[in-house]
Amino acid sequence: MIKLVIIGVVCGAAALTIGILIGHFGISKSGTSAPLWLEDVFYLLSFIFLRRSLTKVPHMATTAGDEETVQIMLKRWQDPETGLDKAWREEYWVYLSFPDKNNPNKVTVGDPTDTVLHTIREKEKPYTPDQSDPEVVQPYAAYSPPGHVKGKLVYANQGKPSDYSELNKTVDLRGTIAITKYGGAGRSAKAINAAPYGVVGVLVYTDPLDINDGLMSDASETYPHSWYMPPTGVERGSYNIDFGDLLTPHLAAKEETYRINATDITGIPPIPTQPIGFEDAYRLICDVKLDIYNYEEVKPSSNVMGFIRGSVEPDRYVIYGNHRDSWVHGAIDPSSGTSVMLEITRVLGKMVKQGTWRPRRSIIFGSWGAEEFGLIGSAEYTEQYFAALSERSVAYINVDIAVFGKKLHTAPVKAPGHEKSVYDNWLQYTNKTSTSHGLIPRMGYLTGAGSDYAPFSHYLGITSMDISYTYDKTKTNARIYPAYHTAYDTFDYASKYIDPGFVGHQAVARTAGNVLIRLADSLILPLNCADYAESLEEYLTTALNLYEEKLKTMKISMEPLKQAVTSFRAAVSNLQKVIQSPDLVRWINDQLMLLDRAFLNPLAFPDKYGFRHVIWASSSAGKRTFPGLADAYAKAESSGQASDWDKVHYHLSVLSQAILGAASTLTDDMQT
């Protein structure tokens, strides 16, 4: 149903886009190169592991199914013929939230006499045997508190602050239950925003207009007849704002680690919350009763780690990761990415075992646990190895959902056989004009915390990339593939409607593997600072257009920011002149590798745990410019308070000094 388009999302010193994928720049290599591995890849992409192993049972974090996937990863990475140099499990004790199997969460509609008129489904309607598996977890809002509430139902759109504010002008929200749709605000924010108005409970549903192009009938329009979500489908999710274990902020969650009290956790729903299907959402009226029996538990969760030692620079790490856990079967999220990683490691491991190739730099592979509960496995790993990763990491590559959708045409899709095919397809469907390179594929920015790149990019400042094949979004309004986080994300769904023949998986594996090899093997790191400078200049242009005129009236100057970006461009230009000098390889690579760290400021976003990168942090303002400045300006413009305009000035200073500091790291005399 959906056109294959490659999309790579980059954050960092990087034109990983330009320097790696597009191949505008020739990079010298040292040692035995590894182009032949590309030819060997993906003849297993009928995906034996995806079909028979990774998706045969639900594998939510810490369950028996999760342990099965741990053993699959260890077996593959410890294989004597195709395994890695080392593989091991890294265990953390993490705070998770589950529904009570013996007391399922309930939502009922009653009349004034408390007679039950309607009860929502406890589980989705099954269409295949695996969807009837008893281990399919009931839809629930992870980290919602337990509770029993009853009230009039009110529609609160997306649950944004503005939605509740407008609603409160005409409706007394005290004692009500709000029904909201996904989108606009984060999952937990829908309840956090509601509580101050006296709302006692929140329901969340997926609007078919936002996911199904309005189609609603499972008799002919939705799965199993198409890729669209059936009426009973429910999107599960973790309802917490912060990433990592909630009881051990800034500390690795080992068994003996100090833990805060659960009552001190912030960023989770303060009132009972439950997701439901759109079929039930349309039947809810009048008085609604919400009975939530969720409970929390500290349980052991494992990362599985793999390692290939570098031959020349073993103390420099290129990290490749994918999370392992899912909400149910997870054929797409995350098993599409897991299968791609397994195939890459099979080919690289085989060459290492045969002695035909070894990377210049070390490669670390991470199969992260408990990602669905808030990026827990990757976050705990970055907290435990904070110093070593900060000093030695070259880049992080993330492949979570490898393929979001297939093409809209009826003709068969050819598997891209080399970089040019991927490049041409990418360029055709999503592109931009670069001042340096002309027409190039468009890249997004990793500005949120949607997957395991977040701890590496936002917390450690490691240049990061997330790679996937996605659909042509001009042909559908689906915000994500419709079976996302539902019981329908199964092999049947993936093989019929997402990637028949798994040709998209092949393209992602070849592309991600190519990026990995270039980062691990290139003599000079293929990280292009000139493209970083171009991104800063684009952000600056947007910021000037949006804010400069108003800020002048507030006597706040943007000149320091202009000068900082100019200084950064000058430093980049000077570095480019010496970048191919063989006598300066280690120095040049260190400048490239550590550039993103220079943009970290632990005090820049006190209300955003784990976000320290002043260029790529998340933003609620919806503007493609500097996030802290955009958010501060939006708040000041709304409130008009002098103290909020002071914060705009503060963020301008933080930003200007960070960019100047980054420019100084590209020179050897600390002058800008």
Weakest mean pLDDT among 388-392, 481-485, 512-516, 582-586: 582-586
Please give the C-alpha separations between residue 6 and each of 85, 418, 420, 492, 564, in angstroms, as whole numbers.
Answer: 31, 13, 12, 23, 34
- Closest C-alpha among 527, 512, 518 to residue 596: 527
DSSP 607-643: TSTT--BTTT---SS--SS-HHHHHHHHHHHHH--HH
- Closest C-alpha among 449, 456, 452 to residue 392: 456
291 and 99 Cβ atoms separated by less than 8 Å: no
Please give the C-alpha separations between residue 530 and each of 228, 533, 574, 580, in angstroms, as whole numbers.
Answer: 42, 5, 10, 15
Q: What is the per-residue pLDDT for 38? A: 53
* Residues with a known catalytic role: 371
42 and 509 Cβ atoms separated by less than 8 Å: yes
Q: What is the per-residue pLDDT for 39? A: 52
Q: What is the pLDDT of residues 336-392, one digit of tens each?
A: 999 999 999 999 999 999 999 999 999 999 999 999 999 999 999 999 999 999 999
CATH architecture of 100-293: 3-Layer(bba) Sandwich (3.50)
Weakest mean pLDDT among 120-124, 128-132, 602-606: 602-606
Q: What is the DSSP letter of 298?
A: E
* 650: exposed, middle or buried (Cβ count in 10 Å: 0-12, 13-18, 19+): middle
- Confidence tier at 112 by pLDDT (50, 70, 90): confident
Cα(1)–Cα(589) distance, integer angstroms: 43
Q: Which residue has the higher pLDDT, 562 or 582?
A: 562
Query: Is CATH 1.20.930.40 the classification given to domain 529-665?
Result: yes
Domain ranges of the chain: 5-96+299-521, 100-293, 529-665
- Closest C-alpha among 24, 3, 27 to residue 407: 3
Cα(405)–Cα(436) distance, integer angstroms: 32
Q: What is the pLDDT of residues 235-285, one digit of tens each?
A: 999 999 999 999 999 999 999 999 999 999 999 999 999 999 999 998 887
Q: What is the pLDDT of residues 281-325, one digit of tens each?
A: 988 877 899 999 999 999 999 999 999 999 999 999 999 999 999
Q: What is the pLDDT of residues 63-93, one digit of tens each?
A: 999 999 999 999 999 999 999 999 999 999 9
Reported residue count of the chain is 672
529 and 579 Cβ atoms separated by less than 8 Å: no
pLDDT of residue 632 exceeding 90, the answer is yes
CATH of 5-96+299-521, one of 3.30.413.10, 3.40.630.10, 3.30.1280.10, 1.10.3720.10: 3.40.630.10
Phi/psi of residue 127, each to 5°? Answer: -120, -15
Cα(390)–Cα(96) distance, integer angstroms: 28
Beta strand pairing status for 438-441 and 361-368? Answer: unpaired
Cα(521)–Cα(513) distance, integer angstroms: 12
Q: What is the pLDDT of residues 470-511, one digit of tens each?
A: 888 888 989 999 999 999 999 999 989 998 888 888 888 888
Cα(329)–Cα(58) distance, integer angstroms: 4
pLDDT of residue 442 exceeding 80, the answer is yes
The alpha-helical segments, DSSP class H, found in 308-392 are 335-354, 376-384, 386-392
Cα(577)–Cα(233) distance, integer angstroms: 56
